[in-house]
Amino acid sequence: NAGVTQTPKFQVLKTGQSMTLQCAQDMNHEYMSWYRQDPGMGLRLIHYSVGAGITDQGEVPNGYNVSRSTTEDFPLRLLSAAPSQTSVYFCASSYSRQGGTDTQYFGPGTRLTVL
């Protein structure tokens, strides 16, 4: 199993550009989520999904879109990048849609810089 994979590892954008961060998992997990990690703020939940076709907002959803057309993939789209979106982005997955006691498995992260 590859686990949770993310591409790209690094990305530099100009203000106003759009891009998609890719996330895939091969563990047949129902739950997938996106976080951003910023110094002094820990990880903050952007969006999450409890199964194909079902997504919901987290703590900091503005400026980001997601979709879940398959169980395996959960891409994160930045519609019009802003310098405030400079961060490290992590995708995570866990087994069940209820969450509860499930452990989350994290990808290696994407370091995004917006100029």
Partner 1 sequence: GNSVTQMEGPVTLSEEAFLTINCTYTATGYPSLFWYVQYPGEGLQLLLKATKADDKGSNKGFEATYRKETTSFHLEKGSVQVSDSAVYFCALRSYQKVTFGIGTKLQVIP
Residue tagged 């990048």 (tokens): 81
Place of tokens 């969450």: 99
Burial class (CB in 10 A: 0-12, 13-18, 19+), 70: exposed
Task: By CB under 8 A, tell whether 64 contacts partner 1.
Answer: no
Query: For residue 46, what is the DSSP state?
Result: E
CB closer to partner 1, 17 vs 50: 50
For the bound state, the minimum distance from the C-beta of residue 90 to partner 1, rounded and expressed in Å, comes to 6
* Residue whose CB is less far from partner 1, 35 or 64: 35
Q: Which is nearer to partner 1, 48 or 81 (CB)?
A: 48
Of 90, 89, 80, which Cα lies nearest the Cα of 13?
Answer: 80
Is residue 10 involved in binding partner 1 (CB under 8 A)? no
Task: Name the site residues for partner 1 (rule: CB under 8 A).
Answer: 4, 31, 33, 35, 40-45, 48, 50, 56, 58, 90, 92, 97-104, 106-109
